[in-house]
């Protein structure tokens, strides 16, 4: 990617992603924001296609035609629904499924438990010492 000069384009896309408008709590988003998101997606797709084409050319130079694949180029298809595309679902997009918080498993002793056990141990030690003193 550095050789192609696309690292700057990638950095710009990543930086601009932070400034895109997020959906509100009700899931609504303004039409201006949708236009900006569409423009960002288009630029990202163009950048990815350019990277793929450069990679294909590099493979053809390094490994020969046998490893470069077919010479027909990349094929694209416009779909009207995500259901038309294999291995793609709506689960990746916002709103994301809500996950239940996982309860933290306590593995050690708390400060209160350590103080209690320490006090009981100290009292036991005092009782043993008193018993030993009475025996003499």
User: For the chain, how many residues are written?
Assistant: 136
Residue 90: per-residue pLDDT: 61
> Model's pTM, two decimal places?
0.41
Candidates 4, 14, 86, 3; CA nearest to 49 is 4
Distance between CA atoms of 52 and 1, rounded to whole angstroms? 10
The parts of the chain modelled with pLDDT lower than 70 are: 1-4, 62-75, 82, 87-97, 136
Residue 4: per-residue pLDDT: 61
């Amino acid at each position: 990617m550095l050789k192609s000069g696309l690292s700057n384009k990638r950095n710009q896309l990543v930086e601009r992603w932070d400034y895109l408008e997020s959906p509100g709590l009700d899931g609504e988003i303004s039409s201006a924001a949708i236009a900006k998101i569409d423009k960002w997606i288009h630029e990202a797709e163009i950048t990815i296609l350019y990277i793929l084409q450069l990679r294909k050319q590099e493979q053809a130079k390094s490994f020969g035609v046998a490893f470069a694949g077919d010479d027909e180029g990349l094929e694209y298809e416009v779909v009207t629904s995500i259901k038309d595309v294999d291995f793609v679902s709506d689960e990746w997009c916002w709103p994301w499924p809500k996950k239940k918080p996982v309860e933290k498993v306590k593995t050690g002793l708390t400060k209160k438990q350590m103080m209690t056990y320490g006090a009981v141990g100290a009292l036991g030690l005092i009782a043993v010492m008193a018993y030993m003193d009475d025996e003499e």
